[in-house]
Amino acid sequence: MIENAGWNTERIVRPALRPARTALAVNLRYSLALALLTITLLASTTGGAWARYASIIINAQTGQVLWEKNADDRNYPASLTKMMTLYMLFDSLEKGKTRMTSQMGVSSHAAAQAPSKLGLRPGSSLRVEDAIKALVTKSANDAAVVIAEYIGGDEATFAQMMTNQARRLGMTQTTFRNASGLPNPGQMSSARDMATLSIALQRNFPQYYHYFSLRAFDYNGTVIPTHNRVLLNYPGADGLKTGFIAASGFNLAASANRNGVRLVGVVFGGKTASWRDQHMMDLLDDGFRVAGGMARRGTPVPEDDDNARKAPKVAAAPEVTKPAVVAKVEKTSTQPKANAGGQTQLPNTLKNSWGIQIGAFSSLSIAQNQAATAASRIRSQAKSVQPAVTSAKSGASTLYRARVLGLSSEQTARSACNTLKGKEKSCVIIRPGATEMAYLP
């Protein structure tokens, strides 16, 4: 049942992932008024049968919350769980522990999962890339457990690994008990936490994020279409994930990019799939209108292009009081390298130092400016800092990661992150040895 589901029309904008309540803009469209009426009527007639409604809309570039309602309430994530299952698999791929062509064995436990599923047989195998596509499109529970057992040995161990990763990302309301999102009373999350995860997928794995925009895939001669109707019908949408169990209602995490602005939204507790989808599209419409108005008034929005597969320019970060994220970045070879497209082999003093990352950009010059600005803001507390930019492929495009290196310890890096977050900047901690080649001023 939804309590106090009405719209607050006061405009308040705060940094993302903070518990203070914020509101979407004034002048909501008539469609949203209808959505409100629907919520009110459903709340009065369905009693406790409808899972508690929650939603949040975040500008993934600036980290500003444009709308939230019950965003910190704990709810059942259902198949939004699979976003973390994929996060763990992407991390394994980036570290070189897994390949897209790797074959993963199918156990009796995996094969016995309830639908939705591929119908895998015990003793067979599933290719990693097919598993990714099956989770994104069909939300295949058997494929999710295959991934869990391949990485964690068993599903329970993998679920604990997922929970540990959630904590590292600042997802304080989230506990995982399985890899699929099938019913378990201990499997809980929040709209804010799922938005945090959505942005982390875009920020940390831009080279794999495009899978969330998959509309169908061919598995053994059968074309499997996506369940994500927002992806199919909303201009600028590029993923992420739908979810449903009876206890949760209809859930959705969505991302869309319009005119250089990327928004991430999460809805929990939809009464029907169609209501959830339309509600998300209405929320995104109003979010883009608010973000566009802020840009016209001079609120900084990093430059972007219309490539729907690009990751957000500046990702949202957890609130200052939460632990900063320690990035799981690809470690390159330790052998000396020649100059690569303007990048320079870093001296050991920088290569072996702690660092921070404040965003990923499609423009090298913007990334360099962002890195230089961040370095100047923290130089009073760390004299030897050095702005640097590394590059990473994102499909056919290149993303440039703005970093500041030369920090003496993890504590100093966390302090620097807190300073930047106070200025509404994103921040991710970079471990020593993770950066070997970079563009330097």
| Residue 257 CB-density burial (10 A; 0-12 exposed, 13-18 middle, 19+ buried) | buried
139 is catalytic: yes
The answer to whether position 207 is within a domain reads yes
Residue 79 main-chain phi, psi, to 5 deg = -75, 0
Find the catalytic residue in 69, 82, 271, 421: 82
Sign of the torsion formed by the C-alpha atoms of 11, 8, 172 and 184: negative
d(CA 279, CA 281): 5
Mean pLDDT by 10 residues, the chain (441 residues): 33 35 42 45 38 90 87 95 98 95 98 96 98 97 98 98 94 96 96 95 93 94 94 95 95 94 96 95 93 55 32 31 37 37 80 86 77 85 86 70 90 86 67 82 73
Binding residue positions: 241
Q: Which residues of 261-271 are buried (b: 16+ CB within 10 A; e: fewer)?
A: bbbbbbbbbbb
pLDDT computed for residue 152 by the predictor: 97
CATH code assigned at 367: 3.30.70.1070
| Residue-wise burial string across 141-175, b where 16 or more C-beta atoms lie within 10 A, e elsewhere | bbbbbbbbbbbbeebeebbebbbebbebbbbbbbb
**Same-domain pairing of 338 and 273:** no
- In which order are the strands placed within the sheet that holds 237-245? 14-15, 64-69, 54-59, 261-270, 249-258, 237-245
- Residue located via tokens 């939460």: 322
Q: Out of 305, 336, 365, pick the residue that ends a domain.
A: 305
Helix (H, G, I), strand (E, B) or coil at 411: helix
Active site residue 409: no
**Whole-number Cα distances in Å, 11 to 20, 65, 223, 290:** 13, 11, 45, 9
What is the C-alpha separation between 325 and 133, in angstroms, rounded? 27
User: The domain spanning residue 47 has which CATH number?
Assistant: 3.40.710.10
Residue 186 shares a structural domain with residue 62: yes
Number of domains, the chain: 2
Question: Would you call 82 a catalytic residue per the annotation?
Answer: yes
The pLDDT assigned to 126 comes to 98
User: For 184, phi and psi rounded to 5 degrees?
Assistant: -155, 125
Domain range holding 218? 1-93+167-305
Q: Residue 279: inside a domain, yes or no?
A: yes
Catalytic residue among 107, 139, 362, 426: 139
Contact criterion met (CB below 8 Å) for 153 and 147:
no
Question: Looking at the structure, do residues 75 and 182 belong to the same domain, yes or no?
Answer: yes
Catalytic one of 79, 255, 353, 391: 79
Model pLDDT, residue 147: 98
181: in domain? yes
Mark whether 247 and 372 lie in a shared domain: no
* This prediction's pTM: 0.61
Say yes or no: 351 and 401 in one domain. yes
Give the residue numbers of the binding site for substrate.
241
Task: In whole angstroms, give the CA distance from residue 141 to residue 131.
Answer: 10
pLDDT attached to residue 396: 62
Burial status of residue 93 (CB atoms within 10 A of its CB: 0-12, 13-18, 19 or more): buried
Find out whether the peptide bond into 116 is cis, omega within 30 degrees of 0: yes
Residues 6+ apart with CB under 8 A from 290: 11, 13, 24, 25, 66
The C-alpha torsion from 171 through 174 and 176 to 181, rounded to 10°, is -110
Same domain, 275 and 220: yes
Residues 87 and 224 both lie in one domain:
yes
